[in-house]
Amino acid sequence: MKLTHRSRMDLSGLWIASEDRAGKGEEEEWYKGLPHPARRLYVPSPWNGQAPELEGYMGIMWYEKSFHVPSDWKQKVAWIWFEGVNYKCKVWINGSYLGAHEGGFTSFKFRIDKWLRFGDVNKVVVKVDNTLTPECIPPGEGMNRTYFDFFHYGGIIRPVYLEATSRTFINDLTIYAEPEGNMGFFKALIEVVNELRKPFKLVLEVLDYDTRDVIHRVEAKGDRRSRQDFMFEEEIKGIEVWDIDHPKLYLAKLSLISEEGDVLDVYEDHFGFRRVEIKNGKILLNGKPIFLLGFGRHEDFPITGKTMPGAVLVRDFNLMKGVRANSFRTSHYPYSRLHLDLADLNGFLVILETPAVGLKHRHFKDKRYLEKLKVMVREMIAEHKNRPSVIAYSMANEPESDIDEAHEFFKELYNFIKEIDPTRPITFVSNRHLMDKALDVVDFICLNVYFGWYSHHGDIEAGVKEALGIIQRIHEKYPSKPIMISEVGAGAVPGYHHDPPVMWSEEYQAEMLSRYLEELSKKEYVVGIHIWNFADFRTPQSHYRVILNHKGIFTWIRQPKLAARVIKEKFSSIMEKRRSK
């Protein structure tokens, strides 16, 4: 969680909103103020759950919010922050255009002090368009013609706020922190913008997250230049390692002090000392092999959709810990800051995935599409780069990567990510298996297997045998690469029971997951198994989904199915066997 001592104004609450089904809002200058009558929508939250007539709406929605700006902001730099707007948006302040953004799951900001009325009421207007096309990331052709299997919500789905600080301020902080014996190696890269053009002092303090005791302090002097970069490389004694069972956090606190002793800006971000490596076919955390047990998840809940209430997220982490999970993938997009804050605090290992789900052959031949994805990837990494929980990046989920162009696409994206962040392994999630042309690009292989569900219907044993054979052949083809099962699952309608187990019964789901876990965990080259899915979630309408994808081991409202108890037993058994080796 990024903490600042800057002035902040939360814009959560009721906003005026209006659909623009004809697409005439800009022509009619709605950015100066929405026409009346208009409706009220709560922000942050998708519009789909807030009125029955909006549930299936795909198109343009305009939002408007008035707010008062204090007079003492006049000498400050001010931004408006959006942590997530799905899918495209344009923003105006007091009728002046600020800019646009594309992509629903990364944060962005616009500077606004030039257009504010200080000591007066101001108005922000946001045009949001969730129209789905094959050029979107993720792509599709309509609400019920998505190239991905989750509901396409629209709107301002994550927090919006104003932030103001001195005209000399901290613009960026990148942290590298690893254990080195009994010491901690700490490296900080800091960018300062100095619009005051006066000398200043930069103070870096490393604090214990829980007690806020200062364990290390260093400082540097800045000159009159408008933009300055600083680097600190320190060895810190007596640190505790961030690990699954002991997720110890620290704070990096940055302070800018003027020559007169005034505090110009203060910025904090949390981090942990931990090291992630791949060696000898294993994923290592702090030098020890780890076995990833957990889930693919979705940010989805009744009414609030992609806007996950804090209480629900807290319950989710308690439920995951309760079944002995230690990890999850942010399928199939970067998750919210609060979501990943809880991963840092609870010691969960996270594979952070881009929103590139459902890519077709055409996308691998489109250079503009790759460049658009790179922008989203850069934003994703910038937002979450300091998190100890994020141990790897996933470039995509289930792409049609069985053509040569896919290899070049992922090779270029892999190199792009490594240039930004060389510290974390990179993968993508394949369901093309032996036909996949890009598996050699990645640091570790992720496979989705559904034999016994989408094929081998009703025959779990035949499905498991088929999966094991394919995984073995992939291992033989890439013997140095760890293999992770990133999805395995079966649907279960809550309350539907059958003896003997048949598809869609809770018994079938429990049995299929049990057998896969038993057999896959025996393979030394398999380094993790994630179940699809943690909880049921909303999907587009189709003949093979009854409103929800029912592969969750918990229901949409987080009540356990039969499989939850079985998973707890299997996860516990697997971890116990791994510890005893």
Instruction: Please tell me the total number of residues recorded for the chain in this structure.
Output: 581
Burial code (b: 16+ CB inside 10 Å, e: under 16) for 388-411 equals bbbbbbbbbbbbbbebebbbbbbe
- The C-alpha atoms of residue 312 and residue 12 are separated, in whole angstroms, by 18
Q: Mind giving me the DSSP string for 440-481?
A: GGSSSEEEE--BTTTBSTT-HHHHHHHHHHHHHHHHHHSTTS
Radius of gyration of the chain (CA): 25
The CA-atom distances, in angstroms, between 405 and each of 323, 342, 412, 435 are 41, 38, 11, 13
Element (H, E) at 528: strand 526-532
The CA-atom distances, in angstroms, between 464 and each of 468, 473, 514, 515 are 6, 14, 11, 7
The two structure tokens encoding residue 252: 């990096």
Rounded to 10°, the helix 562-580/506-520 angle is 10
Catalytic residue among 64, 83, 487, 511: 487
- The C-alpha atoms of residue 355 and residue 396 are separated, in whole angstroms, by 7
- The C-alpha atoms of residue 445 and residue 435 are separated, in whole angstroms, by 14
In this structure, are residues 227 and 190 in contact, taking their beta carbons and an 8 Å threshold? Answer: no
Query: Catalytic annotation on 405?
Result: no
**For residue 120, what are the β-bridge partners?**
69
**For residue 252, what are the β-bridge partners?**
206, 269
Catalytic residue among 398, 400, 507, 511: 398
491-499 long-range contacts (CB < 8 A, ≥24 apart) are 491/453, 491/549, 491/550, 491/551, 492/550, 492/551, 492/561, 492/562, 492/563, 493/546, 493/550, 494/536, 494/550, 494/555, 494/559, 494/561, 497/562
The two structure tokens encoding residue 487: 């999805």
The CA-atom distances, in angstroms, between 113 and each of 30, 153, 337, 411, 496 are 22, 31, 25, 41, 58
What is the three-class DSSP state of 312? helix
Ramachandran angles phi, psi of 157, nearest 5°: -100, -10
Query: Exposure of 517 by Cβ count < 10 A (0-12 exposed, 13-18 middle, 19+ buried)?
Result: buried
Q: Which residues contact 218 (CB under 8 A, 6 or more apart)?
A: 203, 204, 232, 234
Three-state SS across 205-252? EEEECCCCCEEEEEEEEECCCCEEEEEEEEEEECCCEECCCCECCEEE
In this structure, are residues 573 and 520 in contact, taking their beta carbons and an 8 Å threshold? Answer: no
Query: Catalytic annotation on 419?
Result: no
CA atoms within 13 A on the CB side of 94: 14
Catalytic residue positions? 398, 487
